Structure 1
Amino acid sequence: MRRVEVSPRPNWRQRCDAVGFSFYDLESEDGRPYWNEEAAYAFAPPEIALLETATAELFARCMDAVEHVVRAGRFAEFGIPERFHELVRASWDDDDPTVYGRFDLAYDDGAGPPDLSGRPARFGTVRSPAVKLLEFNADTPTSLVETAAAQWQWLEEQTAAGVLPAGADQFNAVHELLIEQWEHIRTARWGLAPGARLHLASLHDNGEPEAELIVEDFDTIAYMAETAKAAGFDPKLIFMEDLSFSVDRQAFLDADDEEVHRIFKLYPWEWMLAEQFGGFLPNTRGRTAWVEPAWKLLLSNKQLLVVLWELFPDHPNLLPAFEAPDALRGGSAGYVAKPRLGREGANVRVFDGTDALVASNEGGYGDEGFVYQQRARFTPIATAAGRPKTAVIGSWIVGETPAGIDLRETGGPITGDLAEFVPHYIEP
């Protein structure tokens, strides 16, 4: 894996607009645009195979962890109120369908270089200790449209223009697999004919006066609606603020008073449980199907990292993680404090081996408690300007299938909301 300079397309903003990706100019570090195609990450095919295998392995172990938590009734450790325990248990036992998720991965330099001696069997048992799980964005993962659509368009156009080598490829089957998964859910899981209604909801704004549309969430929902439509659904875009509940009809309603029977929501489950309408969720099970499902509460919470290490100690793709930092203090790698429900690096604190604070981010999380994870040992990648960058790999899972990757890079040790998106390609 190496970072290379690439000449950007002269009309790259218009080309991003053409695939429904409109928030490319969100301000990132140093006032730069969020989408950065002045660089790219080049991978060798065996490296991609290792990431694919690690993703499949980690998803399987996460399924083991959910089964363990449900059977042992360890919901309280995840901060789930008791009145919703049965909702989560029933969602898991009934195998409520999932569409997607994104693992954040890193190459841990302290584990040695990835084994590139040969391509491992697809989803086999070959593991690389260099591929480490940082966290799992299992409920409301974003960076979807730029991964599935924008960077694939970039690959095709830059290859055709001779900017990338002939025969360059990309680990990116996200679009095709999303359509396949939605069709599987419509036919095999829900038994619906073509044209069945599917609501898709995101949060319109942050609730502040004169607040503007959250464009990133809306573009993500709009793109997901395209894939659902290609799979035979009749999608309807709505906002979470417009959902209401009819006591008479015992159903959730959209702004047009249409009953909501199936809904994909880009809105955290833990927020739903804490709100007024949360009390209606257990009673409407069977009348309203939510995607992502309620059992994702156990995967979108960083308490998962603690349970994974407890169940699979010394697993080569895991970093040690605990509910208290004591076991990690004094180690050469240092450790990271992560709020259980944090997003985009908010309220993350990084400590070195002497327990000194190295870096921290502000935010609105932390009241729910923290977990403590051994710090992955990155080697910053120097840019042309001589500034070091830290890259995190987002590895997508669609259904149960590894689907592709994206890369976010930042000048500091915490990947936050100022990190830039950089496309990738596989060298021929």
Structure 2
Amino acid sequence: MADQVKHYNEDFITPYGVILGSFQGVEGRSNGNFNYYSHEQNYHNGLYTGIPFQCVEYVRRWLNISKGLTFYNIPFASHAWQLKYIERISDSRATSIVGIPNGSDKAPVPESLLIWESDENDKQIPFGHIAVITEVNIQENWVRVAEQNMDNNYWPGNYSRQLDLEVSEGKYFIKDNHKIIGWMVINFDVDSQNQLELGIHEPVVRKIQPPKILNGPWLNFDSPAQKYWANIWGDQPTREGEEFISYYTFDNHFYDRIMFAAMELNHMCLTATNYVINNDEQLAKFGLPHWTWKKIRNSWKGEMISGFKSFSGRFDLAFNGSSIKMFEYNSDSAGTYLEAGVIQVQWAKAVGCDYGKSASEDLENMLIEQAKELFKGFVHILIDNDDEEVYNALYIKEVFEKAGVDCKVVIGVNFKKNHQGKYTDEDGVEIKTIWKMWNWETVISNYESERKGDEIKLSDILLDQNIDIYEPIWKLVTSNKALLAVMWEMFPGHPYLLPTEWTLDGYLRNKPYVKKPIVGRCGQNVQIYTSSGEKVEEMEGKYTKRDCIYQEVFEIQKFDGFNPILGAWIVGMKPAGFGIREDTKLITDHESPYGCCRVINI
């Protein structure tokens, strides 16, 4: 929440962000005037409330703070009229919200939501409007509301405006200059609500069916990325040894939940990153060499001045039938771009899976737009000689080219210096901007390794302050699993976080837990223990000497024996869809099968 006025101009009725008043301790703030749109995101205690300081943002924030409830994405304020239920934040349990049309024989009640109709010809509320009814006085014929971005004037009390209430022949009409659809009455007794009667059903279903007979290849072999992928995983639509195809369907409400989770988690990760970077005691827990600290802080300071330059990241999320939890954030060198952006889309078309839309339908276009925004010159795509990195890099090259960005893929380390002392690739092209899949921990190891003769090392390139690097070095903090423990300290009890601690002396004592190295990839060296300390599963790897954090075990809902992990994408600062990796074992890795995800409207 903004604590001070951020903008002012002569068109603003009151300064943008200034407190106008409050209802039940929830402040309403000025949007300047009804035409202003900030394109920012607002959060309260890590929970997304909306675009500041629009009408929907206030209502969602009031529900969050005062009632512990929320609703997810609605296109316009007027679309709130279509809501059938809203959810308790702590456990996603639904409760009813019932629309009462204006002019009904039922009187409006306090703590209900008042909804205005959208009208493209109405310059003030073309997308409708929403407010909280704070008080109703039938004897004196008025109702009072709390709202944002209507008049943007200071409130006369614990309400923003008083509207006339007309009672005629037993009918109740709330009067305003703009057309009111009606008010929505919320049942605040959440525990009494029968979920089936509310129409709550299984939001996630794993389907199995025979594949459609293919008339030709379902992959585009003119694409180097897809051709490389097929050489590794094959070009058959079914998995090896299986006769049928399988995929997941998600209802659109659950899709919105995942997108909200990604937004909120990204906000919390960046908030925690800022705290750690500016705190020596915290940064020391991340196991990073002291020589990196200044570089990290300078990189972060640059972001604060010029805006975040992140290209993308991917959250690993789990679902137990009701709750969504974050396992980790792959913010530095995330994989599965190709699977999410292309493979699952083309596979669905090929096998006759025409339910709804792809869960990552917008991912490629969002990557293209982000590339247009970030990259203004030639980009070198730097990767190791690893199959997964190769096909993902080839795909990112296709994305960049669609964005009009000239680029090339460089596998391994083969660089030169020109007469001006600038680093170049083997063809003599100066390196000015890099998008990489090398993780920063590898760069640290390379920097600290012995130089062989006059070789140019990977770290020489990636630590050169004159070269723009994506993802930037401050993501050494964001991608470190130590951040999970910091986030739990900063946002204890947040519905998307699992209890995570530095030791087993506190909450996690005598509870099932997962031991994770603070640096690692693809589940390496992750260990799962019972409450009695018995190890039940372990993934081997190369991170045995790393410090660890301890995270509470979260029992994933199984589907046909598979444990699905949702990979939810963030592009820039926006959620961009998701995909699934599933496995019969508890710890997924880069060889775990990728599952197609479809979103259906309910």
2:211 alignment counterpart: 8
Identity percentage over the alignment?
Answer: 27
Q: How many angstroms apart in 1 are the aligned matches of 2:542 and 2:359?
A: 36
Shift of 1:17: 4.5
Cα 1:279–1:6 shift into 2, 3 Å: same
Q: How many angstroms apart in 2 are the aligned matches of 1:17 and 1:34?
A: 24
CA displacement 1:188-234 (0-9 Å, x = unmatched): xxxx3xxx211111112xxxxxxxxx222111111111111222211
1:185 to 352, 374, 390: 374
CA displacement 1:383-420 (0-9 Å, x = unmatched): xxxxx111110001100110011101111111123311
1:142 alignment counterpart: 335
Mapping 1:52-131, distance limit 5 Å: 52-73=259-280, 74-95=282-303, 97-109=309-321, 113=322, 130-131=323-324
1:175 alignment counterpart: 364
1:300 alignment counterpart: 479
Shift of 1:341: 1.4
CA contact (8 A) 1:340 1:366 kept: no
CA displacement 1:127-175 (0-9 Å, x = unmatched): xxx11000001111111101101111223444xx4x434x445343110
CA contact (8 A) 1:409 1:422 kept: yes
Cα 1:17–1:348 shift into 2, 3 Å: farther
RMSD: 2.6
CA contact (8 A) 1:43 1:426 kept: yes
1:155 aligns with 2:348: yes
Shift of 1:257: 3.2
Cα 1:252–1:55 shift into 2, 3 Å: same
CA contact (8 A) 2:564 2:581 kept: yes
Q: How many angstroms apart in 1 are the aligned matches of 2:333 and 2:212?
A: 31
1:284 to 464, 475, 479: 464
Amino acid corresponding to residue 275 of structure 1 in structure 2: N
Q: Which structure has more helix as a fraction of its residues?
A: 1
1:410 to 576, 583, 599: 583
1:46 aligns with 2:226: no
1:335 alignment counterpart: 513
2:422 alignment counterpart: 251
Cα 1:335–1:157 shift into 2, 3 Å: same
1:200 match: secondary structure: strand
Q: How many angstroms apart in 2 are the aligned matches of 1:63 and 1:226?
A: 29
1:75 match: secondary structure: helix
1:262 aligns with 2:262: no
Amino acid corresponding to residue 83 of structure 1 in structure 2: W
Unaligned runs of at least 5 residues, structure 2: 1-203, 448-456
CA contact (8 A) 1:243 1:255 kept: yes
1:221 to 379, 393, 396: 393
2:218 match: secondary structure: helix
Shift of 1:104: 0.3
Amino acid corresponding to residue 419 of structure 1 in structure 2: S
2:229 alignment counterpart: 23
Q: How many angstroms apart in 2 are the aligned matches of 1:310 and 1:419?
A: 32
2:229 match: secondary structure: coil
CA displacement 1:261-300 (0-9 Å, x = unmatched): 1011110111112214476469731x21111111111111
How many residue pairs get aligned? The number is 377
Cα 1:34–1:390 shift into 2, 3 Å: farther
Q: How many angstroms apart in 2 are the aligned matches of 1:416 and 1:279?
A: 27
1:216 match: secondary structure: helix
1:14 match: secondary structure: coil
Q: How many angstroms apart in 1 are the aligned matches of 2:435 and 2:358?
A: 31
Cα 1:266–1:373 shift into 2, 3 Å: same
Amino acid corresponding to residue 100 of structure 1 in structure 2: S
CA contact (8 A) 2:581 2:595 kept: yes
Amino acid corresponding to residue 229 of structure 1 in structure 2: E
Q: How many angstroms apart in 2 are the aligned matches of 1:4 and 1:237?
A: 38
CA contact (8 A) 2:372 2:404 kept: yes
Unaligned runs of at least 5 residues, structure 1: 114-129, 187-191, 205-213, 383-387
1:133 alignment counterpart: 326
CA contact (8 A) 2:341 2:360 kept: no
Cα 1:255–1:273 shift into 2, 3 Å: same
Cα 1:278–1:201 shift into 2, 3 Å: closer
Amino acid corresponding to residue 412 of structure 1 in structure 2: K
Amino acid corresponding to residue 326 of structure 2 in structure 1: L
CA contact (8 A) 2:383 2:412 kept: yes
Shift of 1:32: 5.2
TM-score (norm 1): 0.82
Which of 1 and 2 has greater Rg? 2
CA displacement 1:17-70 (0-9 Å, x = unmatched): 545333357579xx9559998100011110101001011000000110111011
2:480 match: secondary structure: coil
Greater RCO (CA < 8 Å, at least 6 residues apart): 1
Q: Which moved more, 1:397-406 or 1:336-345?
A: 336-345
CA contact (8 A) 1:13 1:24 kept: no
1:419 match: secondary structure: coil
Shift of 1:344: 1.0
1:369 aligns with 2:550: no
1:314 alignment counterpart: 493
CA contact (8 A) 1:169 1:427 kept: no
Cα 1:321–1:65 shift into 2, 3 Å: same
Shift of 1:249: 4.0
2:408 to 228, 233, 236: 236
2:537 alignment counterpart: 359
1:125 alignment counterpart: none
TM-score (norm 2): 0.59
